[in-house]
Amino acid sequence: MLLSTIGRRVLAGIAITATASLALSACSAAPSAGKAEAAKATSLAAFGSMANLEAAAKAEGALNVVALPRDWANYGEILDLFAKTYPEIKINEQSPDASSAEEIQAAKTNAGLDTAPDVFDLGLTVARQNTSMYAPYKVAKWDEIPANLKEDSGLYTGDYGGYMSIGYDSAKYAAPTSLNDLLDAKYKGAVALNGDPTQAGAAFAAVGLATVQNGGTLDDFTPGIDFFSKLKANGNLLKVDVTTATVTSGETPVVFDWDYLNAAHTKDKATWKVTILPGSGYAAYYNQAINASAAHPAAARLWEEFLYSDQVQNLWLKGGARPVRMDAMAKAGTIDTALAAKLPAAPANSVVPTAAQSDAAGKLLGNKWASAVQ
């Protein structure tokens, strides 16, 4: 398989105040007896059957999701499939470009209101920092998820992942062969991160990649911070949040991001190419979790079951990401082999942070990142 633990995402460009505004017109929602029971469910067994879970979710009639960009790992098709499968459940898509940290803030801001996110999609650092926010739940396919990619009680669970890569406009630049290439003056004002590494897993992973590519280990992200400090000092670090629009327009011509996200830009920009640097590669998964205060607890649990189904695991693959159940599905013959064959070759040596390493790196970045790149 590829990875073992996690980091995540995203564009950190939506202000937290945007989620706060949701509360101004929201009404509080007292849980019904059915919702109260659903909120206690830690597995499908609590409902008795999938049909019962589906009925409970349909009775709630809605699902609130946050920070799910439609061009992120095929989320658009996945959201549309859920809506088609369960037309009785309205999906409320909130702040699609928010960061992992902003997801948590949205839940805190809207706690007790019917606008609160029902579910989260998080990087490991943010996921581990906020475990008191989640309801434990083990999906029916729990046993097919590697033990090192899930929290033991089901508070958060890895779902899809990939490798940190560099996307670039090949009309302007040759493929970089090392990080040091990016320090050259020809990259002045050209190199962007997908978010802030203290909030966004993709940017966090870029610092991790820079660490191991510069001879460091995941026990200490200092070499990675030093690299980006040099990039900033040279005038090459571009402080612009990466979106499809910035890539298409040429505003962000060189981008650190997950391979499946960088690859997605090729359909909008013909000259866009993606490379995974030789040497040590950095890999990670994103995690799913249920808001302990979800306004729609049955719908939240149905969403989790849906995401870990064979059909949706193959849709992650269609989006260029590696589904967490990939090994089990390959053994069972349920993986889409044609899509799997299209994945880029994995680096010969891949590293992934342990939970402890991720925690330590998060603290280090919190203390040193801002001053290093100011």
319/360 same-domain check: no
CA distance 102 to 108: 10
Model pLDDT, residue 301: 98
311/200 same-domain check: no
Model pLDDT, residue 32: 60
Model pLDDT, residue 124: 86
Model pLDDT, residue 222: 98
Q: State the residue for tokens 């037309």.
A: 87
**DSSP code, position 92:** E
Q: Is 8 inside a domain boundary?
A: no
- Contact (Cβ atoms closer than 8 angstroms) between residue 117 and residue 25: no
Q: Is 2 inside a domain boundary?
A: no
Q: What amino acid is encoded at 210 in this protein?
A: A
- Contact (Cβ atoms closer than 8 angstroms) between residue 125 and residue 7: yes
Q: How far is CA 264 from the centre of its chain?
A: 15
Model pLDDT, residue 17: 28
Burial class (CB in 10 A: 0-12, 13-18, 19+), 23: middle
Q: Is 217 inside a domain boundary?
A: yes
150/296 same-domain check: yes
Model pLDDT, residue 136: 98
Q: Is 10 inside a domain boundary?
A: no
272-275 vs 157-169, strand pairing mode: antiparallel
Model pLDDT, residue 348: 81
Q: Is 6 inside a domain boundary?
A: no
172/223 same-domain check: yes
Contacts of 200 (CB under 8 A, 6+ apart): 8, 9, 10, 11, 12, 99, 100, 101, 123, 193, 194
**Number of domains into which the chain is organized:** 2
199/327 same-domain check: no
CA distance 52 to 54: 5
CA distance 282 to 286: 14
Beta partners for 283?
Answer: 163
Domain of 364, CATH number, reads 3.40.190.10
CA distance 199 to 305: 27
Q: Is 84 inside a domain boundary?
A: yes
CA distance 252 to 189: 9
In this structure, what token pair is assigned to residue 352? 């992934």
Q: How far is CA 302 from the centre of its chain?
A: 20
Q: State the residue for tokens 């902003």.
A: 102
Q: What is the pTM of this model?
A: 0.80
CA distance 2 to 173: 29
207/335 same-domain check: no
245/296 same-domain check: no
Residue 219 burial (CB count, 10 A): 13
Residue 334 burial (CB count, 10 A): 14
In this structure, what token pair is assigned to residue 45? 């067994």
Mean pLDDT, consecutive 10-residue stretches, the chain (374 aa), reads 37 28 36 81 98 98 97 96 98 94 96 97 92 98 95 97 96 96 98 93 95 96 98 97 94 96 93 94 94 98 98 97 97 97 85 89 96 95
Model pLDDT, residue 347: 85
Q: Is 7 inside a domain boundary?
A: no
CA distance 10 to 122: 9
CA distance 194 to 11: 6
**DSSP code, position 44:** G
90-94 vs 62-66, strand pairing mode: parallel
236 is in which domain, residue-wise?
163-281+349-373
Q: Is 327 inside a domain boundary?
A: yes
256/296 same-domain check: no
263/312 same-domain check: no
In this structure, what token pair is assigned to residue 207? 């610092």
Model pLDDT, residue 28: 41
35/157 same-domain check: yes
CA distance 50 to 44: 7
Closest CA to 174 of 275, 276, 280: 275
233/116 same-domain check: no
82/156 same-domain check: yes
Distances (CA, A) of 331 to 61, 159, 325: 36, 18, 10
Contacts of 64 (CB under 8 A, 6+ apart): 92, 94, 114, 115, 116, 117, 118, 119, 294, 295, 296
